A = this chain, B = another copy of it.
Amino acid sequence: MVKEHVTLAEAWNILKSNVSRELCVETVPVNQSFGRALSSDVIACRNIPHFNASAVDGYAVRSERTAGATAATPVTLMAGYEWVNTGMPVNSEYDSVLMVEDSSMENGELTIIKSLTAGENVRPIGEDVSIGQVAAKKYDIISPALAALFIALGFPDAHVFRLPRTIYIPTGDEIVGASDWTSYEEAPPYGKTAESNSTMITGYFRNWGFPIDCVDTVADDPEKIVEILEEVHGKYDLILIGAGSAKGEKDYTSSILREYGEVFFHWLLMKPARPAMFGRYKNCYVVNLPGFPMSSAAALWSVAYPLLKILHTGSFDEDSALSEAVCSCSEDELPLLIAHSSPAGKAEWVRLKAVELDGKKTVYPLSPGASTMWAIAEADGVSVLPASQIECQKGARIKVYFTRRIEWSKRILFQGSNDPAFERLGSYVRKYGGELVTRSVGSLGGLAALSRGEAHVASCHLFDGESGKYNDSYIEKMRGDNKWKRILLFWREQGIIVREGNPLGINGIEDFTRDDVSIINRQPGAGTRVLLDFMLRERGILPEQVKGYYHQSITHFDAANRVAAGLASATIAIRVAARGRAPDSQLSFIPITVEPYELVIPEKYLDHKGIIALLKALQDSEWRAQVDNMGGYRWENA
């Protein structure tokens, strides 16, 4: 009986009630057992230490021979003592060790200034571990220290649960294997997509300590899919199938499993990973991971990992399964820096960046697209917003699984105008001991964030038509009583970007009113949009007269890409956005103006480690050379 549209809790119950098998046990050498789970208690068969060992450097003696010894009333011995180093045996004729500090030795005469009790400074047999003691328990994970303890106890091998065996089968006519994909000199074939999920999945299995095999991509062909299932099912405990469980024309996995195997659940009330499916093909469990990278990751974390834990040790811990699955290095409950709208009726995986502002740790979500790989790689952590959480207000606290260690005190948040040259600054800020997190919100958005205390640094290039000057009036209005330092970073060339060779003959803003021209604009508050608005006003053109005025993009590159892709005829952007493009998406640039690009930093942050690093990085000649190379920039003092 297939359960459809299940919550994660329901999915986990289905896993628990449908997966049952004899757990397999194997014996591995201790020095290859790190990270493995013990399949039985380990009872000590030797004592540690296995002899009475001295705990100090000094003289082994019989304690009764030291009776009454003090500095004032020393006792001397001519015989009946023996030097021992720390860890050396205390022979049976002795019962204690005199610390060298409590003795003096001259011509074989030992002078004792402290009286000892039996056993003093002796680590007796079995002090650390005694024969019969439980040295480690079934299900314990073998840590470096536990492995060392096993060696000390004389065990060459450890009895552990056999690791579950998994195979990943990517499917899809449009999917090209990694080695072919990376071999293309120029752009890869039109309409094709890289098979990169197996790389990601392999990485997670490596982190989890589970083995995985991957096969080449299988075409969207039911016969081929059944063929590979038939071939592999006997050799593995778990088959992961990539894609094919959604509602597309070529999604066959679900119907195949329903026909030849068994489906326990299909469709997860989760975004992304909605088409996730769990079933069985003969004796082998099957999980379907949807094809989009973030969907695949979400299903891997939410379904495949808990299942692997059951296959490995018979159960999984609901409280920590997701944290373990995403390989979290710490957890926290932190407030959102910005509001987030989550879909109703579904749990949502969000990818988060983290920053500390004025002593308050906070997180904000990155792009929510299931197809976006960059946001998974860029995220500092993830969160699963429960289905009940629909509108998350700014400040709402969410549980964060951090997937990298955050150096909070070094990290600064930039909000402001998107600029590709500034974007290159990241590793230079690191070089000087800081960490730069950038968020493109446009010039006005950046200044507003700064005024709300939600950024350490902003940038702007805002033209004021009334004064004819850049930035001054905007900054004055936004900063209130705060002191803000302004740094004129560079001048940038703005212009009209059109397809290569300017096929529509667009020569100026005037042409934006033409019927055959549609533009892609930037978001409200972007300096580039403010510039366009000014130029339109200057020419008496109303926004409504410009086709595409309300279509927007939040970066120069993205706007340029939409022109290159034929989704718009023109956009306003900086020169670099038209450069360095693939042969089939070349663009032309028609210069309009040169504008100042300013950084704005509240003075209270000038001694922040991250800001200090940023200011140093701005002077780095290597970065400056890179910017010169990009073109379209002029330094403030040039």
A591 sits at the interface (CB 8 A): no
Report chain B residues within 8 Å CB of A193: 49, 87, 152
Asked if A255 is at the interface of the complex by the 8 Å CB criterion, the answer is no
Selected contact of A145 from candidates B143, B317, B377, CB within 8 Å: B377
Which B residues lie within 8 Å of A155 (CB)? 182
Near B by CB (< 8 A), chain A positions 128-175 give 128-139, 141, 143-149, 151-152, 154-156, 174
Which residues of chain B have C-beta atoms less than 8 A from A323's C-beta? 405
Judging by beta carbons under 8 Å apart, are A518 and B194 in contact?
A: no
Given A191-B89, A193-B49, A557-B133: A145 in contact with B373 (beta carbons within 8 A): yes
- State which of B137, B248, B374 has its C-beta within 8 Å of the C-beta of A57: B248
CA distance A250 to B83 in the complex (A): 12
**Contacting residues, chain B, for A83 (C-beta < 8 A):** 249
List the B side residues contacting A377 at CB < 8 Å.
Answer: 135-136, 143, 145-146, 148-149
Q: Which of A581-634 contact B (CB under 8 A)?
A: 581-582, 585
Least CB distance, A605 to chain B, in whole angstroms = 19
- How close is A38's CB to chain B, nearest CB, in angstroms? 9
Question: Which of chain B's residues have a CB closer than 8 A to the CB of A135?
Answer: 374, 377
Chain A positions 406-439 with a Cβ under 8 Å from a chain B Cβ: 407-410, 420, 423-424, 426-427, 430-431, 433
Which B residues lie within 8 Å of A558 (CB)? 124, 126-127, 130
A581 contacts B85, C-beta separation under 8 Å: no
8 Å CB contact of A199 from B147, B319, B564: B147
Closest to A123 in B: B371
Mark A56-95 against chain B: 1 for CB-CB distance below 8 A, else 0: 0100000000000000000000000001011111001001
Most chain B beta-carbon neighbours within 10 Å: one of A46, A174, A199 = A199
Question: What's the nearest-Cβ distance from chain B to residue A164, in Å?
Answer: 18
Tell me if A289 counts as interface (CB < 8 A to partner B).
Answer: no
Please count how many residues in chain A sit with their CB below 8 Å of the partner chain's CB atoms.
142
Question: Would A48 and B373 count as touching, CB distance under 8 A?
Answer: yes
For the residues of A in contact with B, the DSSP-based class is loop
Given contacts A561-B47, A561-B125, A567-B124, contact A86 B246 (CB under 8 A): yes
* Cα–Cα, bound, A178→B29 (Å): 11
Decide yes or no whether A117 CB sits under 8 A from chain B: yes
B residues less than 8 Å from A405 (CB atoms): 317, 320, 323-324
Hey, which bits of chain A sit against chain B, CB under 8 A? 30-31, 34, 40-41, 46-53, 55, 57, 83, 85-89, 92, 95, 117-119, 122-139, 141, 143-149, 151-152, 154-156, 174, 178-179, 181-184, 187-188, 190-191, 193-197, 199-204, 206-207, 246-250, 291-293, 297, 315, 317, 319-320, 323-324, 328-331, 369, 371-374, 376-377, 403-405, 407-410, 420, 423-424, 426-427, 430-431, 433, 518, 520, 548, 551, 555, 557-558, 561-562, 564-568, 576, 579-582, 585
A selection of 9 A-B contacts at a CB cut-off of 8 Å is A34-B203, A52-B565, A57-B248, A88-B174, A119-B551, A148-B377, A155-B182, A317-B407, A320-B405
